[in-house]
Structure 1
Amino acid sequence: MVHSIFPTSSQMAAVFRFIEENYRQPITLCDIAQAIYLLQKTEQTIGQIAESIGYQDICHFSRYFRQFYGTSPQAWRNEHLCCVAAS
């Protein structure tokens, strides 16, 4: 049996999944931290915030935000602005 020196397509897919899962997360954390700041300190729309931190698709941004905070950006803003206004 001849062994190829090149990885199979499934091996390459596993490598790309690993890279995406492990190297995108720090960038996403920085993005989300910037989004939190903008949600608190500005009146920009969610779409404007998403665009300003590099997301062209608001759904993609909202998905990442929900992954970290368990709620949508708008719900997070509403909850935290309510608490700030009550203080």
Structure 2
Amino acid sequence: MADPANYGNPDRDIQQALVALKKGTQLIKYNRKGKPKLCPFRISSDETTLVWFSHKKERAIKLASVTRIVPGQRTVSFT
């Protein structure tokens, strides 16, 4: 949840995001085809891997291999 008193404080935003991911949170996962899906994401206990479930299997990616984050689709309706 965004706190209006902390707007413009990226360090606090990053810390809040890390806390949410450590506990496990649902994020929207966009695909090239189909509609966006809510998937449970979490960060591993050693904070080196992002883990999520897809097609009933656990998937993971090393955070060190992430080179950039691409914002998702921002249209009003998904058809």
Structure with greater Cα Rg: 1
Structure 2 length normalisation: TM-score?
A: 0.29
Structure (1/2) with the larger helix percentage? 1
